[in-house]
Amino acid sequence: MKAGHGKVVRVHYRLTGDDGTLLDSSEGQEPLTYLHGYDGLLPGLERGLEGMEAGQRARVDLLAADAYGPHDPEAVIRAARDQFPEDLVLTPGLEVSARSDEGTMTFRVVEVSEGGAVLDGNHPLAGQNLHFDVNVVEVREATAEEIAHGHVHGVHDHEH
């Protein structure tokens, strides 16, 4: 069976950057499971998996623009120490959320100084070209309920 619209696909992947750095991997975990054609994956990665069958491997290369977009320098901001809760220990990599009129935004702490911190609101993979090595484990028909919900069932319990 080929991966395509309305199929549930289980796939192991390794994600590397341009310099070969490992960014993410399903190794040692359950394979990534998604419902094809329902916005469960990066569109470019889904296109790369289209038509693949269990046992097949492929390399899918995505430009940053087709992945998480360019890194937006305007989303990098400096925040004073008194803008954070007093008991919060600021460390690089920590995720903090900030509420504004436009909703809640998540920032990553990238730099900490006496006076405060530099925060980056970009997706951690923004600005990076992504290289996926994929290995399709299984392709099956989705159930009518999965199609109705637009996501896969039976992997993790979830609320409806």
What residue number has its CB nearest to Zn ion?
Answer: 149
Give the shortest CB-8-to-Zn ion separation in angstroms: 12
Give the shortest CB-150-to-Zn ion separation in angstroms: 8
Q: Tokens 């069958």 map to which residue?
A: 53
Pick the closer one to Zn ion by CB: 5 or 47. 5
Pick the closer one to Zn ion by CB: 80 or 148. 148
Helix (H) or strand (E) holding 136: strand 130-141
Helix (H) or strand (E) holding 135: strand 130-141
Give the shortest CB-34-to-Zn ion separation in angstroms: 13
Cα of 79 vs its chain's centroid, Å: 26
Give the shortest CB-52-to-Zn ion separation in angstroms: 25
Pick the closer one to Zn ion by CB: 78 or 158. 158
Give the shortest CB-93-to-Zn ion separation in angstroms: 32
Pick the closer one to Zn ion by CB: 38 or 68. 38
The Cα-based distances of 50 to 2, 14, 34, 111 in angstroms read 7, 18, 12, 41
How many Cβ atoms sit within 10 Å of the Cβ of residue 53?
A: 12
Strand pairing partners for 22?
A: 16
**Residues interacting with Zn ion, by CB under 5 A?**
149
Pick the closer one to Zn ion by CB: 61 or 145. 145
Q: Pick from 104, 22, 40: which is nearest to 3 by CA?
A: 40
> What is d(CA 71, CA 43) in angstroms, rounded to the nearest whole number?
19
